[in-house]
Amino acid sequence: MLYWSRSAKRRYRGCFRGGNSGLLRLGWVQCVVALLLGCGLSLSALAACPQPSPETDVAVGIREAPPFIAHDDIRGQRGFAVELWKSIESDLQQQGELGQTEWIRCSLSDQLVALRSGQLDVVISPLTITAERQEHFPFTHQYLGSGITVAQNSGNVINFGYATNILVDTVMQPGVPGAIFLFLLVNLVFIGLVSWTIKHHVDFEVIGKEPLLLRWARPVVETVVRTTGLYGMSSEFRSTTAKTLDAIMAVIGTILSATIFGVLTAALIGSIGVTRDVSITDIPELKVATLANSTSQAFVESMHQKPVSGSPGELFAAQSGGETTPTFGRRAMRGSSSDNATVTPAQEPEVQRGDEKWSPGCHRPGAANSEARCLQANSWFDAMRMLDRGEVDAVVGDWAQLSYLARLPVFDQRIHVQSAAFKSEPYGWGINPQRPELLYAINRELIERIRNPQWRYFVQEYLGTGSIGSN
C-alpha cells in the first residue's frame, strides 16, 4: 500500500477521482509522475533499518565506511570499528553484561532514526558527536578526532608550497628539534677540536697569513662541510689525531646528508600533483560532492546558503569552552533536527549568481540540474568516484575516510586530500537512549583501550601513520 502525503494528495487530487475526468484535467504525464512519486516514497520506507531478531540483546548498526567498516566475501565485516567492537563485545560477554548481538546494515539517516526510536542499540559506523544528535541519544566517549576537509584531483606539477609544509611538519615532529639542537652542540665541540688541530692542515701556512676573522672562520667552515656531508674524508690533515677527527666528522656527514636527501626527496615526491589548497571562502564557488545527510553536507549547505565574503572568521561564532565552529543557518540532515525534517529542493530558495540561478541545497545526482553546486552520494567511495570521473570539482568530507580512500589502487594517486580541516569532527558511538547500562559498560571498556599504549598503533594500522598526533 502506498502512502501519500497531504501535499501530494492536494496536488494530484484529480488522479484520485473516479473516471477519466481527473486524468483529462491533470493530464496523463502528471498522474504518472504522481504514481512514480508514491512508489518512491514506499520504497524509501522499505529502505529503513531491518528489525533485529527477537533473541538479539544488542542490535549493532553498521554501514559501509572504510577503513572503519568494510565487507568482503572472505573475511566478512572488518575494519577499525569492527575490530574495536569485537574486542569490547568479547569482554562484555565474558563478564555477563552483554547477550547475543546482531549486525544491522542501513544508511546513516536510517541509523539516526533507529537510534532515537530504540530499534538500534549501538551504531559503530563513523558518527560525529553533535549537540543536535545528543538531544536525542547519548554518545560514548570520543574515540577519534577527524575533520571536514577537501579532496581534489591531482595535477602533474610540483607544488613547492606543499613541499615546504611537509618539511616544516617533519622538523616539528617530536624529537626532531631536540636532535637538531644536539647536532649543533656536537658541531661546537668539533669546531673547538678542529681549531686545536688546524696547525696540522696542509694549508696552515696560508691560513696563518689570513686576517684574524678568516682564521677564526676556517675551523667553522672545515667542520660544517664535513658534518653536513658536503665534503667527505680528505687528506688535508697530516697528524693521526686530526685524521681521526676528520673521519668521525665524515661519518656523521654521510649519515646526515642521506637523511636530508631522503626528507627532501619525500617532500618533492609527495608534492607532485598537489593542487592549491582550498580555503573556506572557495567552497561556494566549487561544485562538490558529499555524503548524504552527513555533517559535511550540513557544512557545505551552510556555506552555500550564505556565500562567503571577507575573512573566514566571519563564518565562525564563539561557542562555550572557547572553541569556534561554523554557524549553521539551516540544518538539512535527517535525524539531526528535533522534527527529523528534511529540506527538499522545492523548499530551498534560489540564489542569483551572475546570470544563472542555483539552489544552495545538496541534491541527488539524478535530481540535480546543471547549476547544482552540491551533489549527494550514498558513500564516500561514491563521492570519490564522482570526483575521479570529473563530475565535481571537489569532495567535501571526513579527512580520515577520504585520505584512506585516496590511497586505494583504484584511484592510483590521482586524488589529493587536503591536510588542513575546516571543522573538527569528534567521533563516538551512538547508544540507544533506553540502555544507559549499555552506555556505561561500553564506555568503561572503550576508555580502557584508549589508555592502552598500543592504542596509537591500532589506529595507525587502519588509518595510516599520520592519523594520530603526538598527544
**Cell numbers placing 22:** 481527473
33 CB contacts (<8 Å, ≥6 apart)? none
Q: In the prediction, which pLDDT does 268 show?
A: 58
Maximum pairwise Cα distance, the chain: 118
Please choose, from the candidates 65, 63, 61, 64, the residue with its C-alpha nearest in 3D space to the C-alpha of residue 404: 65
| 394 and 301 in a common domain | yes
Q: Which amino acid, one-letter code, is at 112?
A: L
| 399 and 298 in a common domain | yes
| 127 and 82 in a common domain | yes
Q: In the prediction, which pLDDT does 291 show?
A: 93
| 169 and 224 in a common domain | yes
Single residue among 213, 241, 270 that ends a domain in this structure: 270
In the chain, which residues have pLDDT < 50? Answer: 1-29, 31-46, 157, 274, 307-359, 469-471
Confirm whether 160 is domain-assigned: no
Tell me how crowded residue 31 is: count the other CB atoms within 10 A of its CB: 17
**Cell numbers placing 175:** 624529537
| 399 and 334 in a common domain | yes
Q: In the prediction, which pLDDT does 276 show?
A: 65
Q: Domain holding 447: CATH number?
A: 3.40.190.10
Q: In the prediction, which pLDDT does 202 show?
A: 75
pTM of the shown model: 0.58
Single residue among 218, 253, 270 that ends a domain in this structure: 270
Task: Report the number of distinct structural domains present in the chain.
Answer: 4
What are 286-340's pLDDT values in tens digits?
999 999 989 999 999 888 765 444 443 333 333 333 333 332 222 222 233 333 3
DSSP letter assigned to residue 341: -
Buried b or exposed e, range 198-230, using 16+ CB within 10 angstroms: bebbeeeeebeeeeeeeeeebbeebbbebbbbe
Q: In the prediction, which pLDDT does 468 show?
A: 56
| 283 and 256 in a common domain | no
Single residue among 217, 238, 270 that ends a domain in this structure: 270
Q: Do residues 142 and 129 lie in contact, with contact meaning Cβ atoms separated by under 8 Å?
A: yes
| 326 and 196 in a common domain | no
Q: Which range of residues forms the domain containing residue 206? A: 165-270
280 CB contacts (<8 Å, ≥6 apart)? 303, 308, 312, 315, 422
| 418 and 308 in a common domain | yes
Q: In the prediction, which pLDDT does 251 show?
A: 83
Q: In the prediction, which pLDDT does 431 show?
A: 97
Confirm whether 154 is domain-assigned: no
| 207 and 120 in a common domain | no
What are 67-115's pLDDT values in tens digits?
999 988 887 889 999 999 999 999 999 999 999 999 999 999 999 999 9
| N residues, the chain | 471
| 413 and 359 in a common domain | yes
Q: Percentages helix, strand, coil for the chain, rounded to the nearest 5?
A: 45, 15, 40
Q: In the prediction, which pLDDT does 244 show?
A: 84
